[in-house]
Amino acid sequence: MKNICFTLFAFSISLTASLACDVCGCSLGSNYFGILPQYDKNFVGLRWYYSSFFARMDHNSEYMEDEYSNDTYQTFELWSRLYLTDRIQLFASIPYSFNQMEGSHQKVTAAGLGDISVLANYTLVNTGEDVGNPWRHTWLAGGGVKLPTGDFRQQDQGLLVNPNFQLGTGSTDFVLNTIYTVRFQNVGLNLGTTAQLNTENPEGYRFGNQWNASTQLFYWRQMKYLSILPNIGMYYETGEMHTDNGIRQLNSGGEVWLAQVGLDIYYRDVAVGFTFKNPVSQQMNSDEVAAIESKERIMISLIYNF
């Protein structure tokens, strides 16, 4: 799913179209920082996101056939961090998405450029490495913009595909975030939160505002040129209902809690990361007919520090 598409998953379902996961909900995925590698360096890297969702609509009618959809969302993201000054970091992400909708009434594939994001973070606190002090703190805060570079007018059989399945939202949206990391010797805790404030696109459709928060407990093990960083934690995301020309859309918005486990490996200037998330609790704003379920998520990353 697009990333990142975020943090949350909102979903829109119509009686004549296939059920689909909210592509916008994952847009925050592109703005997910997690445990930032080698804090004092620039980097460029690739990330791959995978998400899957299942939705169904039980009409309980002899005249209307039940509907279902298995949807998968993959995003290949080029992202980078550059220091503009000692305290200001610039982040940029360029996603390429591949979405598949396998439904009872519709099968659609979408591939192409997604919505590009550019953010800047300011370092509020950075205690650095001090041999005499086992504690280390870093705190960043900032924000940026998500640009409407992805296609949001894709059609299938002459009809506009569900907005949730489009490669982009068609709107210019604004992102706020903060990241705090504390480490005592080899054990640390990473806390992060991101909010996305969405605007209306040229079609009059507006995805609900979204917010996520994560906490990760990690262990840092240094071995000459090689370092490993296993981590475990929780991830939460939520989204408001969507609107279409000011009218609130049923079966959109909700919240989900995911348990996550990961491993980062650093060798000299190269870092490889793996994260797996699995839902433990979720509550979507679905009506009595529709049921929407978020499945597992996977992220794999490769970074070069310079």
Contacts of 275 (CB under 8 A, 6+ apart): 34, 260, 261, 262, 298, 299, 300
Q: What is the pLDDT of residues 180-199, one digit of tens each?
A: 999 999 999 999 999 999 99
Across the range 73-82, mean pLDDT stands at 95
Q: Is residue 14 part of a domain?
A: no
Share in percent of the chain as helix, strand, coil (round to 5): 5, 60, 35
Closest to 94 (Cα-Cα) out of 143, 164, 45, 141? 45
Closest to 46 (Cα-Cα) out of 300, 306, 254, 218? 300
Concatenated DSSP letters of 68-125: EEEEEEEEEEEEEEEESSSSEEEEEEEEEEEEEEEESS-EEEEEEE---EEEEEEEEE
Containing 236, the helix (H) or strand (E) segment is strand 226-239
Distance of alpha carbon 211 from alpha carbon 202, whole angstroms: 23
Instruction: Name the region of 128 (left: φ>0; alpha: ψ -120 to 50; beta: rest).
Output: left
Cα angle, residue 260 at apex, residues 75 and 34 outer, rounded to 5°: 65
Q: Is residue 8 part of a domain?
A: no
pLDDT value at position 17?
32
For residue 93, what are the domain limits?
25-305
Q: Is residue 38 part of a domain?
A: yes
pLDDT value at position 116?
96
Q: Is residue 34 part of a domain?
A: yes
CATH number at residue 164: 2.40.128.130
Residue 76 has pLDDT above 50, yes or no: yes
Number of helices and strands (H, E) in the chain? 0, 19
Q: Which two tokens stand for residue 14?
A: 């119509």
Distance of alpha carbon 162 from alpha carbon 147, whole angstroms: 20
Q: Is residue 12 part of a domain?
A: no
Q: Is residue 13 part of a domain?
A: no
Concatenated DSSP letters of 158-191: TEE--GGGSS--SS-EEEEEEEEEEEETTEEEEE
Residues 125-154 as b/e (b if ≥16 CB within 10 A, e otherwise) read eeeeeeeeeeebebbbebbbebebbbbbeb
Closest to 273 (Cα-Cα) out of 32, 54, 56? 32
Q: Is residue 17 part of a domain?
A: no
Q: What is the pLDDT of residues 195-213, one digit of tens each?
A: 999 999 999 999 999 999 9
pLDDT value at position 32?
65
Distance of alpha carbon 46 from alpha carbon 72, whole angstroms: 20
pTM: 0.85
Distance of alpha carbon 281 from alpha carbon 278, whole angstroms: 9
Across the range 118-131, mean pLDDT stands at 87
Q: How far is CA 62 from CA 16, 65, 69, 84, 104, in A?
A: 17, 7, 20, 64, 17
256, 274 contact by CB (below 8 A) = no
Q: Is residue 208 part of a domain?
A: yes
Average pLDDT in the chain: 85
- Please identify which residue in the block is written with the tokens 């994260």: 275
Q: How far is CA 48 from CA 5, 7, 109, in A?
A: 12, 16, 18
Please give the tally of structural domains in the chain.
1
Across the range 39-51, mean pLDDT stands at 90
Quick one: 2 exposed, middle or buried, by C-beta within 10 A (0-12, 13-18, 19+)? buried
Q: What is the pLDDT of residues 284-295, one digit of tens each?
A: 887 777 788 889
